[in-house]
Each structure stands twice: as C-alpha cells, then as structure tokens.
C-alpha cells in the first residue's frame, strides 16, 4: 500500500488500531460538527496563485519564538501515544527531532517528560500543561519541564471540563492497565474529582508567569476578545485551537477563527493554529492568513500507528514536500513571501 498522502495513513490507522483507540483519537464532541468543519473550512479557501516567479531555490524554514524549524508544521499536544505505538511519545520526540521541527509534549503523555527528553536530546520541544486543583502538582511539572530543556509552556485554556465525546462514553474509554499517565503519577491520590481546575481565570497566567522564565503560549483561543486578553496578560504566543473539535461542538473552524485572532493581535505575539491540517496546501493557507506555524494532532497519531517514529517522519515529510510544492506553484520561494494576497476567502 503506497503512502502517498495523509489520508492513506488515516485509512491505515482506522484499519489496524484497536477500535477503542481509534475512536478515542477520532472523537469529536457531540455531533462532531466542529471536528469536521476544521477540515471543510480549508476547502472553502481558494488560492490566488502567481506565476513566473523564480522558484528554483525553495526554502520552507522558519522560526517560532526564535527557534529555527525546517518547515512550519509542529506536533500538537495529544495524549496517550502508547495507544498508537508501543514506544509512545519517545517515538514522537525522535521523529520531530529528525525532521527538525517542534513537538509539544502533552501532560497526558504515557511517557514521562524525562523519558521524552532522553529519547531525543536537543530536540525542540514545548510542554503542554493544564492548571490543576493541586497547584503544587502543576508547579512541579513546570519546573521539571524547564529543567529538562523544554523551550515553551503551552497552557490549554479550553478544557475546564472534558467535552462530551459520545463514542468514548459508549466504549467506556479508559487507558489499558499497562499504560499510565506517568507525568501525574502520585500527584493526585487525594483527589477523586477531575484534577483539572475549572476555576482558572486569566489571573492564573500571572501565577504561571511567576513560576518560570519560559515563554507562555496559550492554546484554545477562538475570539478576538480572548486574543486581546491573552496579549494583555503577557503571553508570548497563541494557538488558535478548538481542541480538534473535541470540546465545544459547533464553535468555529480554527482556520476561520485564525483570521479574527490575527487581526486582533496585530503582530504583538506569534499566532499558531491547529485542527484540520491534512495537506501541505492547508499549511500554506494558514500561513497566508497569518499563522506563524501550524500543529498537527491526529495525523501525527496516524503516522505513529503506521510505523512509530518512522511513520511519523513519513507524515511530516509528506507535509513538507506538499507544502514546498504548493509554495512553488503559488509563486513563493520562501516563507517570507507568503501573504494574504495568496488566498481568497469564500464569500460564503
């Protein structure tokens, strides 16, 4: 079976993953409208390709928060990579480093931060965290990540409670007994409630700021109002995200929200986007609309499910190749030439 595009990896993962794992990764909230809209919204955007520009020397490289990456596609934080591949997040870390891009490790990893670091020393990594009821646990995680050389903290803002994912409810989803959310082991024994704190507000950004010198990136912003608040509270980056459509169903597609957020931010901080990226040309669209970089969630898991580190590299390489080709066919030789003139938003 030739792996030509990302949907080949999706088909493979759907066929070979245990149903409960596939369902968990594929799940969207409620009717899955937003999950699917993330993809459809890209298809409504039309390019305005330019011709006869010298595209003989192509450069897909860019920087995020000062770090160079070889192309503007990173790995979004998703949990439980051992559900996709035995080595779990260690494979993810190795693939990201091999492709010279950024990997955002999730709090809900099935490997510890220490294992992830050791697996791919020197790789560019950010750490995703929630603020827990037990603030000491969060503080400890931040300190560990900083000590291990993670270069950014990604605060997830859109999960005060977990969205309703019907298939997970039907399947009674839980981790198999041999897998653990290792980063949190021991931290929550006294707590029978969900460890996440739904009372978190913007002021907690200040608390987080007080713990660390790492840049703070806030993930889950969908409106201009919250983008403005994020900038005012001193974050260094924003990830426009709807959690892959797994939280509030029938919110906006992220590529649609990106336009609003970029306009509000006016270049004061870097803006990224995740959700719905399936082709290199989607990356080009996101950058044309102001994203500095995109992050992929499910496609990374499909790559892992296919062949672990190697499969994820395949996925990233396909995206890089497609992105480079799309740039060239649109008339851009480097990322700096990409701009809003390349796209026409649907009049819809």
Q: Quick one: which segment of 80-88, 109-117, 138-146, 219-227 binds a copy of itself (CB under 8 A)? A: 219-227
Tokens of 233: 């509270």
Q: Quick one: which segment of 207-215, 240-248, 293-301, 302-310 binds a copy of itself (CB under 8 A)? A: 240-248
Q: CB–CB of 238/265 below 8 Å? A: yes
Residue 66's φ and ψ, nearest 5 degrees, are 90, -10
Residue 173 engages a copy of itself in binding (rule: CB under 8 A): no
Rounded Cα distance, 167 and 170, in Å: 5
Q: CB–CB of 301/25 below 8 Å? A: yes
Q: Sign of dihedral through CA atoms 65, 142, 235, 94?
A: positive
- What lies within 8 Å, CB to CB, of 290 at 6+ separation is 258, 259, 262, 263, 271, 340
* Known catalytic membership, residue 341: no
Q: Is 243 annotated as a binding residue?
A: yes
Contact positions with a copy of itself (CB under 8 A) in 105-164: 157-158, 160-161, 163-164
CB of 27 to a copy of itself, least distance (A): 12
3-class SS at 167? helix
Contact positions with a copy of itself (CB under 8 A) in 324-343: 325-326, 328-330
Residue 170 engages a copy of itself in binding (rule: CB under 8 A): yes
Residue 182 C-beta-side C-alpha neighbours within 13 Å? 17
Task: Find the catalytic residue in 81, 178, 243, 341.
Answer: 243
Residue 179 engages a copy of itself in binding (rule: CB under 8 A): no
Q: Is 78 annotated as a binding residue?
A: yes
Give the E-state strand segments of the chain in sequence order. Answer: 46-47, 62-64, 67-69, 73-75, 103-105, 125-129, 153-156, 216-221, 237-240, 270-274, 293-296, 343-344
| Closest to a copy of itself by CB, 172 or 177 | 172
Residue 54 engages a copy of itself in binding (rule: CB under 8 A): yes
Q: Quick one: which segment of 69-77, 114-122, 175-183, 215-223 binds a copy of itself (CB under 8 A)? A: 215-223
User: Binding site membership for FMN: which residues?
Assistant: 77-79, 106, 128, 130, 156, 219, 241, 274-278, 297-298
Q: Which residues are part of the catalytic machinery?
A: 243
Enumerate binding residues for a copy of itself (CB under 8 A).
Answer: 2, 4-5, 30-31, 33, 43, 45-56, 157-158, 160-161, 163-164, 166, 169-170, 197-202, 204-205, 220-223, 225-226, 229, 242, 247-252, 279, 281, 285, 322, 325-326, 328-330, 344, 347-348
């Amino acid at each position: 079976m030739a792996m030509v595009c990302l949907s080949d990896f999706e088909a493979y993962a759907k066929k070979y993953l245990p149903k409960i794992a596939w369902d968990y990764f594929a799940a969207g909230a409620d009717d899955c409208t937003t999950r699917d809209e993330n993809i459809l919204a890209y298809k409504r955007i039309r390019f305005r390709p330019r011709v006869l520009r010298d595209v003989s020397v192509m450069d897909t490289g860019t920087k995020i928060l000062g770090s160079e990456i070889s192309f503007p596609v990173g790995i979004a934080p998703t949990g439980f990579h051992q559900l996709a591949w035995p080595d779990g997040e260690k494979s993810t870390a190795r693939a990201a480093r091999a492709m010279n891009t950024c990997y955002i490790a999730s709090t809900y990893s099935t490997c510890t931060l220490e294992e992830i670091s050791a697996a791919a020393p020197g790789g560019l990594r950010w750490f995703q965290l929630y603020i827990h009821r037990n603030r000491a646990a969060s503080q400890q995680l931040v300190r560990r990540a900083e000590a291990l050389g993670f270069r950014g903290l990604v605060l997830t803002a859109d999960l005060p409670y977990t969205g309703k994912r019907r298939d997970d409810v039907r399947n009674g989803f839980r981790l198999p007994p041999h897998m653990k959310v290792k980063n949190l082991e021991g931290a929550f024994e006294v707590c029978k409630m969900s460890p996440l704190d739904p009372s978190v507000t913007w002021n907690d950004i200040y608390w987080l700021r007080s713990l660390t010198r790492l840049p703070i990136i806030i993930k889950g912003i969908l409106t201009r109002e919250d983008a403005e608040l994020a900038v005012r509270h001193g974050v260094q980056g924003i990830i426009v995200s709807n959690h892959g459509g797994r939280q509030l169903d029938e919110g906006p597609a992220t590529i649609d929200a990106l336009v609003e957020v970029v306009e509000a931010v006016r270049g004061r901080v870097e803006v990224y986007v995740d959700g719905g990226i399936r082709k290199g040309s989607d990356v080009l669209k996101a950058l044309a609309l102001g994203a500095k970089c995109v992050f992929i969630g499910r496609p990374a898991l499909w790559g892992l499910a296919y062949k672990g580190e190697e499969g994820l590299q395949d996925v990233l390489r396909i995206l890089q190749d497609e992105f480079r080709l799309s740039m060239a066919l649109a008339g851009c030789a480097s990322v700096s030439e990409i701009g809003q003139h390349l796209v026409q938003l649907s009049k819809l």
